[in-house]
Amino acid sequence: MDTDPSDGRQGAGDPAAAGREAGPRATSPSPLVGLVLVAHDPGDWFEEVLTAVGVQDHHDLEVLVVDAGRRAGLAERVAGILPWAEVVDAPNAPGFGAAANVALGRKRRAAFHLFMHDDLVLDGTAVRRLVECALEVNAGVVGPKVLDGADPRYLEDMGCWVDRYGGGVPRFESGELDQGQYDAEREVFACAESAVLVRSDLFEAVGGFDPEVRFLDGALDLCWRSRLVGAAVVTAPTAVGRSVGGRRTRRRRTDPQRLHPRHRLRMTLVNQDPVQRSIALVELALATVFGALYGLLVGRFRHVRGLLAAWPWNLRRLASARERRATIAGHFGSDHTRLYVRHDVPHRSFHRAVTGRASVGTGAEAPGRLRLHQLWSALLGPGGITLLLGAAVLGFGSRHLLTRGLPAIGRFQALPDDALDLARSWWTGWRPSGTGVDAPPTEGFALLGLLDGPFPWGSEVLLAAAVLSAFPLGAVGVWRLVRPIGGGRSRAVAVLTYLAVPVPYNALAEGRIAPLAAYAALPWVAQRLAIAQGVVPYGRRGGVPGPGARLGGLWGEVLVGGLVVAAAAGVEPSTAVLGGVVLAGLVVGSVLAGSPAGVPRLLLVAFGACVVASLLHLPRLDRLPDGDLAAAFVDPSHWPAGDLGAAAILRLDTGTFVAGRLGWALLVIPAIALLTADGWRLALVVRSWMVAAGGFGLAWVLDQGWWAGPMPAAELVLVPAALGLAWAAAVGAAAIGVGTLDRAFGWRHALPPLAALALLVAVAPVVASSLDGRWGLPERGLDAAVPVFEVEGDADDIEGSRETPRVLWLGEPSVLPAAGVDLGDGLAFAVTDGPADLLDQVPLRLVDGEGLSGVHDAVRTLLAGTTSRVGGLLAGWGVQYVAVVERGAAAPYTAVESPAPDALLASLHRQLDLERVEGLNRAVAVFANPVAEPVHAVVRDRTGRAVPVDLGRPGWGRLEATMVVAGSYRAAIGPEGWWRIEDHDGEAEPVEDGAPVLATARVDAGDRLVLVLDDDRTSTGSRTRQLAILALAVLATSWAHLGRARSGLER
């Protein structure tokens, strides 16, 4: 390759002389080549282009420069270098095709036309080699190999293939080195756009360039038509040129997002046979619709505009399309589809048409596969291998849970019979728990309900998978969080540390969902906060960003952060509070480390993210003014003052997963990091330690008994501590080895083995615990101890007259099978209809339903010992059983034990209207309430007896009651005003004091009542708004994020 511009200058103005210097081959007879150089207001590079033309070693070369631009002075520039070249004007900037077509009207004897863009610097032998290639393979069209002008080691263009819609498919991925890897295969569908050598008779036969195709795709169209008439199209790999013009595609008239769709449609109309054309047009119309939606979703408005504008643009030019089609009409019907079918994978062609991303190939370099390759590359590094090992241990340790499901302990209760009830409850805001409450489940529960249908392995496995997904989600979250810190080693240490903390295993053993959800979500929240601060290695402040760091704009970070916080809060609301702990840790840590850079931005983004998240959770926030803020979200737990102690807190040792003194090993690597790191690593490790200190401090404060509200689980508040330790451990792993080998032998050389030993010690208890395959969970849960609550008989009966018994649960909050209302002194109560299910696992408050308050008053009376007929107090609320839970699972399975207070049991035993149900498991003491009234009943006029009605539930929020006797119908289902009677003409009666919370009505035997949830009370409207806000937020985030990506690309 010879690209020395000095050669051009030496031969400038005398092609004959240049030919003579080229040696014996230059003196041989050669076909005349008419070089048409279309210039469109070229830049400074144009002289280099002209010089390269001037030094070509091809003898017979005529140069015609077409001035298709608007600026004057081009002729002088040409004359200065190629005085023998002819310059013509193409007025009104008609575009490349129309400008190049001036060759059609000129009666020349040239055998070949060489059409060039004004930004291609040809090698000195390029023209000759193009001609030789054309003659050698008898090709009609030949193109050069085009290299990157900025760095000629990289390929720029070597022709392309085409898909079914006329979209060009490059032969290689952008950024590939030129190693001759594509030189062997000469045949292409279309040659490089920058320079096209065409046999002149062929050019005449196909009607030249399409004048309507401007700047882009002209060569593609020309090649397509050439192939239709039987000409071969090849790339001459020895003919080399360099593209020196740089990127000008953002100019409106040459924007590929605008031009490609219209050209694709144009070529389909002109170059396809009628049948293929019809099919392609339909598919393109569909692709336009999807593409417009896609563009709107991701904020690519130019893409949308280009897609939509392509149709009227082509409709206005149907006549010219017909004319051009007529030129080669006789050639349709040939087997031309074979030309592109090789690279036409329909769904990828469609994807390309929809997204407009045609810059990648269709083979192994496809984007999905590229990402997969990147993922595999990452997984095969130390961090990835750690993830895989962690996954193997977790999978091994969870094998029985995944195959047999979770035991029903704590919050791990079965999905409802109809799992969609979770979503319906979320949508309407009503829940049957606690005699009916205005306390919907979280978005996470609703999503779980939606997933149950398509999930192929049953509800039990779905629940187990959902719960256990906390481990991989948390691990991947930490993996991503620490990615910019360093290599795979630091990722490995962080992931192992995070997986080794006892917090999730204790939460699992105690059946707690909230800590597991926080464990999964908090690393993702922390990552957004770290990026928001933008301090090295997460941003440019203070140094060079680390690997994988993504630099975002303010609004993009606010929106993404808001979505992440909203998603985390949607699964577990308290995660938002823990995010606050992380934020505080980062701020305090930054100040303490003396590097407060980025703190204002961090606070700004955090505030904005909170606003966004709050907007996304407006329906939930609606509940807050009515009662205790904490009780609305915190599942109460029993946590006596001083129960844990400082040492256990520091070891994160809160439950049955006991690492003992080995738990101190978790602190070793973070401590080493704090003592040995320097520079940005020290700043980061200080921030990490402050995050951990926030978690430890919160746990300590609660352990001191200084918090008067409902106590969260210890595992929950320690999640920030676990995260901080893992974060600091990652920094420690990255910092320990820095410069150690360069130093003289000393104490620092002992740190790596010490850290490795500490890591092994920390991980060992987890590996040991994995052996039983259930992480210490019992084989059966509490459900094995309380079969009495199941409705006997066939399933049909359940929909019929039999009511599911209503159960009052009493006991320590964590062993209750439903989220309870705190009664103090380690006692809570919950009310469920039948055995508890997942709908009953969301915290609620007394203000959420009148029935709950009524039951609460009765329980208080019971505890105070001021009644001997508590059954009567509970009867009006339909409570048929009182169950005192003393173990998390049925005996003899291992479980958390929490004996009920003697006073409670003694008081229950002294009730004259409660009947102890004997013969049950010692995990639970059950008392039947023989005086309980049915939830739906008719109170007979004369006797005052409550007679049950035939009840059916045709749908969520709709009950059908058929009366068997005459009297007053009443239902103990709340909250007040949520249910209204439909389809009944009876006289409405006022609400009675006490039990009935629904307006009663006079009924006769055989009457049928329909109870429906009142639309004015349900949250369907606010849920609709919530979804709309979510869509807007996602849209805005997508726009902001892609805008950031594009701007990054331009940089």
Interacting residues with other proteins (CB under 8 A): 535-536, 542-543, 589, 592-595, 597, 640-643, 645-647, 649-650, 674-675, 678-680, 682-683, 686, 689-690, 693, 696-697, 700, 703-705, 864-869, 871, 899, 902, 906, 909-918, 928, 930
SS3 922: coil
In the complex with other proteins, the residue whose CB is nearer, 453 or 899, is: 899
Least distance from C-beta 581 to other proteins, angstroms?
14
In the complex with other proteins, the residue whose CB is nearer, 697 or 811, is: 697
SS3 242: strand
> What's the Cα-to-Cα distance from 1049 to each of 170, 469, 691, 1016, rounded to whole Å?
20, 35, 34, 50
In the complex with other proteins, the residue whose CB is nearer, 589 or 781, is: 589
In the complex with other proteins, the residue whose CB is nearer, 682 or 842, is: 682
Least distance from C-beta 901 to other proteins, angstroms?
9
Least distance from C-beta 857 to other proteins, angstroms?
15
DSSP letter string over 544-597?
A: ---TT-----HHHHHHHHHHHHHHHHHH-THHHHHHHHHHHHHHHHHHHTT--T
Least distance from C-beta 937 to other proteins, angstroms?
20
In the complex with other proteins, the residue whose CB is nearer, 18 or 923, is: 923
In the complex with other proteins, the residue whose CB is nearer, 151 or 678, is: 678
Q: How are strands ordered across the β-sheet holding 958-962?
A: 950-955, 958-962, 1008-1013, 979-982
In the complex with other proteins, the residue whose CB is nearer, 124 or 813, is: 813
Least distance from C-beta 505 to other proteins, angstroms?
22
| Contact in structure between 273 and 332 (CB atoms under 8 Å) | yes
For residue 322 the two structure tokens come to 């017909």
Query: Going by C-beta distance under 8 Å and a sequence separation of 6 or more, which residues neighbour residue 15?
Result: 54, 56, 59, 61, 84
Least distance from C-beta 651 to other proteins, angstroms?
13
CA–CA distance, 653 with 966 (Å, rounded to integer):
61
In the complex with other proteins, the residue whose CB is nearer, 422 or 874, is: 874
The full length of the chain comes to: 1051
Least distance from C-beta 654 to other proteins, angstroms?
14
In the complex with other proteins, the residue whose CB is nearer, 133 or 731, is: 731
In the complex with other proteins, the residue whose CB is nearer, 673 or 961, is: 673
In the complex with other proteins, the residue whose CB is nearer, 453 or 705, is: 705
Least distance from C-beta 647 to other proteins, angstroms?
8
In the complex with other proteins, the residue whose CB is nearer, 230 or 679, is: 679
Least distance from C-beta 816 to other proteins, angstroms?
19
In the complex with other proteins, the residue whose CB is nearer, 696 or 877, is: 696
In the complex with other proteins, the residue whose CB is nearer, 694 or 781, is: 694
CA–CA distance, 577 with 574 (Å, rounded to integer):
5
Please state whether 412 falls in left (phi above 0), alpha (psi between -120 and 50) or beta: beta
For residue 471 the two structure tokens come to 């481990």
> What's the Cα-to-Cα distance from 243 to each of 254, 255, 714, rounded to whole Å?
16, 18, 64
Residue 941 has, within 13 A of its CA and on its CB side, a CA count of 8
| Share of the chain residues as helix, strand and coil, in percent rounded to the nearest 5 | 50, 15, 35
3-state secondary structure 498-518: HHHCCHHHHHHHCCCCHHHHH
DSSP letter string over 929-960?
A: -TTPPPSEEEE-TTT--EEE-EEEEEETTEEE
Least distance from C-beta 674 to other proteins, angstroms?
7
In the complex with other proteins, the residue whose CB is nearer, 55 or 649, is: 649
In the complex with other proteins, the residue whose CB is nearer, 640 or 954, is: 640
| Contact in structure between 928 and 972 (CB atoms under 8 Å) | no
Residue entry with tokens 């036409």: 344
Least distance from C-beta 745 to other proteins, angstroms?
24
CA–CA distance, 7 with 14 (Å, rounded to integer):
12
In the complex with other proteins, the residue whose CB is nearer, 378 or 928, is: 928
| Contact in structure between 409 and 506 (CB atoms under 8 Å) | no
Least distance from C-beta 922 to other proteins, angstroms?
14
Please state whether 621 falls in left (phi above 0), alpha (psi between -120 and 50) or beta: alpha
CA–CA distance, 1036 with 1046 (Å, rounded to integer):
15
Least distance from C-beta 896 to other proteins, angstroms?
14
SS3 531: helix
Pairing of strands 958-962, 936-939: unpaired
Torsion sign (Cα): 630, 635, 638, 639: negative
For residue 159 the two structure tokens come to 């022709």
Which residue blocks in 138-217 are alpha helix, DSSP H?
A: 200-205
Least distance from C-beta 522 to other proteins, angstroms?
21
Least distance from C-beta 862 to other proteins, angstroms?
10
Least distance from C-beta 168 to other proteins, angstroms?
47
| Contact in structure between 996 and 937 (CB atoms under 8 Å) | no
Long-range contacts from 937-944, C-beta under 8 angstroms, 24+ separation? 937/969, 937/970, 937/971, 938/963, 938/964, 938/965, 938/966, 938/967, 938/968, 938/969, 938/970, 938/1003, 939/967, 939/968, 939/969, 939/970, 939/1000, 940/965, 940/966, 940/967, 941/966, 941/967, 941/968
Nearest C-alpha neighbor of 142 from the set 154, 155, 161, 158:
158
Query: Going by C-beta distance under 8 Å and a sequence separation of 6 or more, which residues neighbour residue 489?
Result: 382, 383, 733, 734, 737
Helix 443-452 / helix 420-428 crossing angle, nearest 10 deg: 140
Helix 256-271 / helix 218-228 crossing angle, nearest 10 deg: 10
Least distance from C-beta 866 to other proteins, angstroms?
5
In the complex with other proteins, the residue whose CB is nearer, 348 or 687, is: 687
Least distance from C-beta 73 to other proteins, angstroms?
52
DSSP state at residue 1016: T
